[in-house]
Amino acid sequence: MSQWTPFSAARAGRALCTTCGMLGRPVETAHCRRCGTRLHFRKTDSIQRSWALLLAAYALYLPANLLPITETRSIFGVQRDTILSGVVYLWSDGSWAIAGVVFIASIVVPLLKLFSLTLLVLSVQRRWRWQPLPRARLYRFLELIGRWSMLDVFVVAILVTLVQARSLAAVEPGSGILAFAAVVVLSMLATQAFDPRLIWEPLDAPVNTAPSRENRP
Amino acid sequence: MTSDTPRSPTPPPTVRAVRHARSPLSWIWLVPAVAVLLTLGLTIHALMQRGPQITLQFSSAEGLEAKKTKLKYKDVEIGTVSDIALSDDRRSVKVTVAMQKQAEPLLVDDSRFWVVRPRIGTGGVSGLGTLLSGAYLAIDPGRSPQPRHTFIGLDKPPVVVNDMPGRQFLLSARDLGSLDIGVPVYFRRIPVGRVVGYALQQDGHGVEVRIFVDAPYDRFVNAGTRFWHADGLNVALDAEGLKLQMQSLVSVAVGGIAFANPDKDSDGADAPAQATPETRFELYTDRTEALRQPDSVVETYRLTFDESVRGLAIGAPVDFRGLTVGEVSRINFDYRRGADSIVMNAEIKLYPERFLRRWRNRATASSQLANTRAVVDDLVAKGLRAQLRTGNLLTGQRYVALDFFPKARAARVDWQQPVPRLPTQPGSLDSLQEQLQTLMDGLQKTLGQADQLIATADRTLLPELTATLKSARDTLQRADGVLASDAPTQQELRNTLREVGRAAGAVRNLADMLERQPEALITGKKAPQ
């Protein structure tokens, strides 16, 4: 590992334009010569932004799960459902498979996503050299599944628009779904703000010179 | 690295790029700050909203569900049932309700809780909405300043809740009649309230009925107001005849209470005072009884009758020449060993005010009232007597009449006895009956004697008569034999008579001859020529 010294664009003073893909020299021209996009060696404030968005997502995860996501008004009265109460209802109703799917998609996956991203950001900040390839795969996986958590939000949106039988029954979105959507969006943004190239950066430096970053040529 | 070394005089771009981006506080931190603030705000809000936990005790948890059933006040949710469990003695159900913060002032000492379920009662159908939505808890907040968190729930919803404008009144009645919680209270036939509760009096001698009169009408209830059972149909048959009263069809079905204020006395008594919550009203059985003038002075007298008191009922009127001045309060009899008869006792209550109210001179009336005994003595001396009379010939109802009998034997009232005795006079119909009885008795005696006479005659006279008749028949037979045409006596008699006829003819011839020849007597008969 220590002998592996890959060639990197940043080291060569080059960076790809994120919009048009043209190779530019950020040191000479801050903007892409072709399309004018600002050029960066790495995503701006990647770690800091990831942290901020992650923390926000963590903060909103609590209300997302505790506040009701739907408010069903019917002649039978008002019923407020949180995500977990929906899962419990499905489970007690005998629909174990659906309960499992909802539980995994709406509770486990967002939480795992947050934890995984935390792990990635932490590892990059600490310049861990541990298991870079699985970490990179984890990141790709996170990017892939991120949007699927929005399923809940869409279900609620569809329910709310479909079930509007005036006095008989009406479904209204609860504040929990807002928080939940915010969690999903924030975690997606956090994933986006994270720069996977940073996973490899500590590995680029030879092991013996790693501590003195400033002395690097 | 190898290719980049020649250009190394310029600082490493990576480092510069990174450094350039690192500002002490990036705007991005606004996002978690907002999120944290939001969450904190929500948490604080939720904590603030969280009110006290209260425990309600119900006899049954029918329709209640933990975490689902709400507690509502004016149809606003102010709490949710968090737990339902059996009480420690397993006789009732303990329902724990998590209240909201805003509900805290409602949880005071006299707050009441009940379960709203669909109900069909006398007042109509209620709680229909809960058929679909399920039962919920309701609260009637009290007014006490004393907070409380443990309550005993009502089994039935209260008829009147605390924030309804109006007043409660307490009535005492002899019995409940057909009343029930929720039955209407009428004033001039307008439903103005309802019965909210009843209970047996502590000593069991009556019933206390609690009624609620709605706000604009409660001012018509004053200290002089009379209440009566407006039982739909009131049929009374007494010495005063048949009475039929009817309030309204609703009250026919469910009963009710009516009230009215008696008309003012013509000479204007003071306006009655406002009723206070402590005022207790009497609940009369009917309108007539209710609207009678109140009798504050009651005097009890004892009447003794030698005759039967059949037809005299407790409550029968005591009548003075058509005015009802009292009522019979007790009927019993007196038996003393050695006494020759049993006397019937009737205790009457006299309301002397009723006499006096009609007196012209009120000043003397009140002074007379103070000196009742003298008045009674005076009246008795003038011949005032009590008498049992038949009020209704059809039913045989009797009443006590006070009247003057100038010819009555002199009597006095003995005031030494605990219950003074008024002298009585045998009843008019009764004396008639007695005379009739005597007459009948005499007749019966006469008839008995006649019977005896006949029996004696039967026993002694009849055989003799038979013998006499037999001998008479013999005599007659013999006479018959004598008198028959072919009997020898007859024959002889006929012969004799013929002989007598012949003799008479001879005599006639003789007489003729003598007439013609009188000398023949001497000369004898001449020979025929």
Mean predicted lDDT score pLDDT of chain B? 79
pLDDT at residue B493 greater than cutoff 60: yes
**B504 in contact with A at a CB cutoff of 8 Å?**
no
User: Which positions 34-73 of A are in contact with B (Cβ < 8 Å)?
Assistant: 40-42, 44-45, 48-49, 52-57, 59-60, 62-63, 66-67
Residues of B in contact with A26 (CB under 8 A): 13, 17
- The answer to whether B13 contacts A10, with C-beta atoms less than 8 Å apart, is yes
- Of residues B502 and B249, which shows the higher confidence score? B502
Q: Which residues contact B445 (CB under 8 A, 6 or more apart)?
A: none
pLDDT at residue B483 greater than cutoff 80: no
Residues of B in contact with A57 (CB under 8 A): 35
Q: What is the ipTM of this complex?
A: 0.77
**A200 in contact with B at a CB cutoff of 8 Å?**
no
- Chain A residue with minimal CA distance to B37? A59
- The answer to whether B36 contacts A10, with C-beta atoms less than 8 Å apart, is no
- The answer to whether A63 contacts B38, with C-beta atoms less than 8 Å apart, is yes
Alpha carbon of B36: minimum distance to chain A alpha carbons (Å): 5
pLDDT at residue A204 greater than cutoff 90: no
- Lowest-pLDDT choice from A126-140, A160-174, B233-247, B344-358: B233-247
Size of interface A-B (CB pairs under 8 A): 93
Distance of alpha carbon B351 from alpha carbon B348, whole angstroms:
10
A216 vs B7, B12, B70: nearest CB:
B12
Distance of alpha carbon B194 from alpha carbon A134, whole angstroms:
80
Alpha carbon of A129: minimum distance to chain B alpha carbons (Å): 19
In which band, very low, low, confident or very high, does the pLDDT at A206 lie, cut at 50, 70 and 90? low
> What DSSP string runs through B362-422?
HHHHHHHHHTHHHHHHHHHHTTEEEEEEEEETTTTEEEEEEEE-TTSPP----TTSSS-EE
Mean pLDDT of the B332-356 span: 77
- Lowest-pLDDT choice from B15-19, B477-481, B484-488: B15-19
B133 vs A44, A45, A75: nearest CB:
A75
Distance of alpha carbon B31 from alpha carbon A59, whole angstroms:
10
pLDDT at residue B265 greater than cutoff 60: no
pLDDT at residue B497 greater than cutoff 80: yes
Residues of B in contact with A75 (CB under 8 A): 132-133
Instruction: Report the amino acid identity of residue A122.
Output: L
Confidence at residue B248, expressed as pLDDT on a 0 to 100 scale:
66
What token pair was written down for B180? Answer: 């029930």
- Lowest-pLDDT choice from B27-41, B126-140, B231-245, B320-334: B231-245
- Lowest-pLDDT choice from A78-82, B226-230, B295-299, B456-460: B295-299
In which band, very low, low, confident or very high, does the pLDDT at B357 lie, cut at 50, 70 and 90? low
Closest among B197, B254, B261 to B228, alpha carbons compared: B261
In which band, very low, low, confident or very high, does the pLDDT at B50 lie, cut at 50, 70 and 90? confident
- The answer to whether B36 contacts A56, with C-beta atoms less than 8 Å apart, is yes
Run of H or E residues at B170? strand B166-173
Mean pLDDT of the B357-363 span: 56
pLDDT at residue B300 greater than cutoff 70: yes
- Of residues B487 and B349, which shows the higher confidence score? B349
Confidence at residue B363, expressed as pLDDT on a 0 to 100 scale:
57
- Lowest-pLDDT choice from B50-54, B181-185, B482-486: B482-486
Confidence at residue A212, expressed as pLDDT on a 0 to 100 scale:
41
Distance of alpha carbon B457 from alpha carbon B471, whole angstroms:
20
Burial of B437 by CB count in 10 Å (0-12 exposed, 13-18 middle, 19+ buried)? exposed
pTM over 0.90: no
Confidence at residue A118, expressed as pLDDT on a 0 to 100 scale:
93
What tens digit of pLDDT does each residue of B130-154 get? 777 778 888 988 888 888 889 988 8
B4 vs A12, A26, A42: nearest CB:
A12
pLDDT at residue B12 greater than cutoff 80: no
CA B422 to chain centre: 29
Instruction: Report the amino acid identity of residue B153.
Output: G
Alpha carbon of B154: minimum distance to chain A alpha carbons (Å): 23
In which band, very low, low, confident or very high, does the pLDDT at B501 lie, cut at 50, 70 and 90? very high
What tens digit of pLDDT does each residue of A113-160 get? 999 999 999 998 888 888 888 998 999 998 888 777 787 888 888 888
Mean pLDDT of the B198-205 span: 86
- Of residues B129 and B100, which shows the higher confidence score? B100
**B39 in contact with A at a CB cutoff of 8 Å?**
yes
- Chain A residue with minimal CA distance to B25? A48
Residues of B in contact with A174 (CB under 8 A): none
- Chain B residue with minimal CA distance to A47? B22
Q: What is the 3-state secondary structure (H, E, C) of B347-360?
A: EEEECHHHHHCCCC
Confidence at residue B149, expressed as pLDDT on a 0 to 100 scale:
87
Confidence at residue A148, expressed as pLDDT on a 0 to 100 scale:
76
Alpha carbon of A20: minimum distance to chain B alpha carbons (Å): 21
